[in-house]
């Protein structure tokens, strides 16, 4: 069965960086894109961007341009999201999800809580 398993919770200081991993199984990894979505405490869902494991191209939300980098490692069927220059308003649960381009996000990881606090 399709599974996306994310890395554990992180606590970071303002200005630091965080890298969240997402390991996929149960499907052909390069055949689907990986998207990242975050959810601040008590808030709604915010799309952050996506990456194509097959080609390696990315598309990021404009508000995160310059601070976010998404990568994949097809040898381990893993995706990574690195967010730099962390601020307190980056505190959120970060989700990875699978999709075919143009389609909705059909499988999601369990989420990774990133807390930014001094």
Partner 1 sequence: EIVLTQSPDVQSVTPKEKVTITCRASQSIGSSLHWYQQKPGQSPKLLIKYASQSMSGVPSRFSGSGSGTDFTLTINSLEAEDAAAYYCHQSSSLPQTFGPGTKVDIK
Residues that bind partner 1 (CB under 8 A): 35, 37, 44-47, 59, 61-62, 95, 99, 102-106, 108-111
Smallest distance from the beta carbon of 111 to partner 1, in angstroms? 6
d(CA 54, CA 74): 8
6 or 78: whose CB is closer to partner 1?
A: 6
Smallest distance from the beta carbon of 5 to partner 1, in angstroms? 12
48 or 86: whose CB is closer to partner 1?
A: 48
Q: Supply the DSSP symbol for 85.
A: S
Q: Which residues pair with 114 in a beta bridge?
A: 10, 92
Q: Tokens at residue 54, please? A: 């097959």
Give the C-alpha distances (Å, rounded to integers) separating 15 from 29, 48, 106.
33, 19, 33
13 or 41: whose CB is closer to partner 1?
A: 41
**Cβ of 61: how many Cβ atoms within 10 Å?**
14
Smallest distance from the beta carbon of 21 to partner 1, in angstroms? 16
Place of tokens 């990986």: 34
53 or 109: whose CB is closer to partner 1?
A: 109
């Amino acid at each position: 069965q399709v599974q996306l398993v994310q890395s554990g919770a992180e606590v970071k200081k303002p200005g630091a960086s965080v890298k969240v991993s997402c390991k996929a199984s149960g499907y052909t990894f390069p055949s689907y894109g990986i998207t990242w979505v975050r959810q601040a405490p008590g808030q709604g869902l915010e799309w952050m961007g996506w990456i194509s494991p097959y080609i390696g191209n990315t598309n990021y939300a404009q508000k995160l341009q310059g601070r976010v980098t998404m990568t994949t490692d097809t040898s381990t069927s893993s995706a990574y999201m690195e967010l730099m220059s962390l601020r307190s308003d980056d505190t959120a649960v970060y989700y990875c999800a699978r999709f075919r381009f143009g389609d909705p996000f059909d499988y999601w990881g369990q989420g990774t809580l990133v807390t930014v606090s001094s």
